[in-house]
Amino acid sequence: MAASLEITAPLRAQAISSIQRYAEENLGDPLGDLAAGNLLDYFLSEIAPLIYNQAVSDVQERLQHRIGELHGEIYADTFQYWTRLEKRRKSRS
């Protein structure tokens, strides 16, 4: 993975707009495009990898759980001919 996450230009513009709105509504301090863009770059390089790594870890854990369940879902009992035959014979009598 790269040092920071890359986002498309339209998503970057939406993120900058969201940061500007957040700053104005919650901090009472409007941010210009450059300041909001720099803050976004900081988040993408410093904070996003933490979230990305946690998401990867969560997915790995979920996949390991699913792999553990596969045995029960796809396992085929071996040497069952005689067992099934005995059951059929008993059900006929």
pLDDT digits (tens, 9 = 90+) for 23-51: 999 999 999 999 999 999 999 999 999 99
Domain count of the chain? 1
Q: Is residue 39 part of a domain?
A: yes
Q: Is residue 54 part of a domain?
A: yes
Residue 12 DSSP symbol: H
pTM of the model: 0.65
Q: Is residue 2 part of a domain?
A: no
Q: Which amino acid is at 38?
A: N
Q: Is residue 1 part of a domain?
A: no
Looking at residue 3, its pLDDT comes to 55
HSE toward the beta carbon, residue 45, CA cutoff 13 A: 7
Q: Is residue 73 part of a domain?
A: yes
Q: Is residue 4 part of a domain?
A: no
Q: Is residue 81 part of a domain?
A: yes
Place 4 in a pLDDT band, splitting at 50, 70 and 90: low
Q: Whole domain around residue 61: which residue ranges?
A: 9-92
Q: Is 2's pLDDT higher than 60? A: no
Looking at residue 71, its pLDDT comes to 78
Q: Is 59's pLDDT higher than 70? A: yes
Q: What percent of the chain has pLDDT over 70?
A: 96
Looking at residue 1, its pLDDT comes to 47
40 touches 19 (CB < 8 A): yes
Q: Is residue 56 part of a domain?
A: yes
